[in-house]
Structure 1
Amino acid sequence: MNSTRLAVWGDPIAHSLSPALHAAAYGVLALEWEYGRRQVSAPAFREALASLDASWRGLSLTMPLKEAAFRAAATRDRHAELSGAVNTLLLGTEPTGFNTDVGGIVDALAENGITAVGTVRILGAGATAASALLAAAELGATRADVRARRPEKAAGLVALGESLGVRVTADLIHAPVERVELTLATLPSGTDLDASLAGRLADGGGALFDAAYAPWPSALASAWGGRSVISGLGMLLHQAVRQIRIFHHGEPLEPLPDEGRVLAAMRAAL
């Protein structure tokens, strides 16, 4: 067994591409680290975390564990504090929590030529929606239209927007929509939207960033037709790069050694 262990936890988890991404990066970096996956439910998280020994360096967290990881972290980075979600735990005497999803969205959009935006629509009101709002704010957004099946769940996003200087409004996903520059979809993978609704969201929806990537194309991506569409694989890739920086040297913004080769190997593993 390797002396340094890491893993991705979530429920479900069998579909996760994180082990392949991390293995590719560790190969380039010549790190003999073991990165696995484990199905852990939200109620079982605290006990599972407490069972880890000193050989464990870090964890990647996916749904439904981001809020539980936030509570477990002794200290957190700014993105984690603002979003209330942690997708990366650097373990040690006390776990440090990070949210690399925000930077992953920003990097994925930049890779597709989107580096500034004024108006956005966010579909969904969960943890990933908070990361999407933070990413939009970093790109200069001043207005965000949140659409969800239960708009009352967006109260936290409205408050977060106010703290960021972004005017956030919330409504039913089926309500009439106005034109925006960018749509950020944070709906669960496999969400089935009827064609008429997807078409209304696409009309005047600007470019589409869809956090989902399996199955692909999603119902929304299909409705967007020839318009600009960015799948969640870009976010998955770039948030993982930031995770690996954290696991390697503790800083999500400090590049890895030979990061160009690392990124190329990870992209090839997708």
Structure 2
Amino acid sequence: MPLPRPTTPAGRAALDAIIAAPSSALLAFDFDGTLAPIVADPRDSRPLPSVVDALAALAPVVGGTAVVTGRPAATAVAYGGLDRVPGITVLGHYGLERWEGGRLDAPDPHPGLAEVRAELPGLVEAARARFPGAEGTAVEDKERALAVHTRRAADPEGALRELRGPLERLAERTGLAVEPGRMVIELRPPGMDKGAALAGLAADRGARSLLYAGDDLGDLPAFGTVRRLRADGVPGLAVCSGSTEVSALAEEADLVVDGPAGVAALLEGLLAAVRPG
């Protein structure tokens, strides 16, 4: 499988560094939209088998593999069969949870979540009454966060606009942070994002080169971490799992690939470049 080349000099230098010394490289990925195609019902999300196969083959060769996701870590592991990847670290809820080797470390739930859990159904129902295009909006309970999805709504963009203000006010009142995404708004505990999670993991692993791939606005902080580590002398490659819905991420990327299938092709090409023999 041909290895795609980044469009930026910094990205090309990082890819070359990963290939030259894979044992000190950290490869990290978002879950939905990056390893797994976006689907209407998040409970149906599953990574492409070729992605997990390539990660499992790469894991013994590189310094570390990781998934950084807004999902609960155990859910990502179960949905993805990620326990097949030797030594993988799964950071759930933007880094609040950490799964490694079958062990999950997680904090107590944020106290504001109980109030949000109680009020959110009524808030969504009120939005449907005001705006018929919000019909089909769904709430996902992630245990330590709650998300409102409009992808299945009659008017997804209109429903998102209708809900944004009420959700922001609810988050402010309960001490939660608002995380916008592709046809979704999530209310989650503050103080952690994918950038901080990635920086901490890179430090833990002593990474001397880094690849991070994502597809949504929540991945922008991780791209920021890639840039900051580059400034500190750690070559980093920011990969966008391409989507017409999120152009802002593509503009910040060193390499844009065609969704999860493109991520699989990138990993297969990288595997061919670093595999001994």
Q: Shorter-normalised TM-score: what interval? A: 0.3 to 0.5
User: Structure 2-normalised TM-score?
Assistant: 0.35
User: Structure 1-normalised TM-score?
Assistant: 0.36
Larger RCO, structures 1/2 (Cα 8 Å, 6+ apart) = 2
Higher helix share: 2
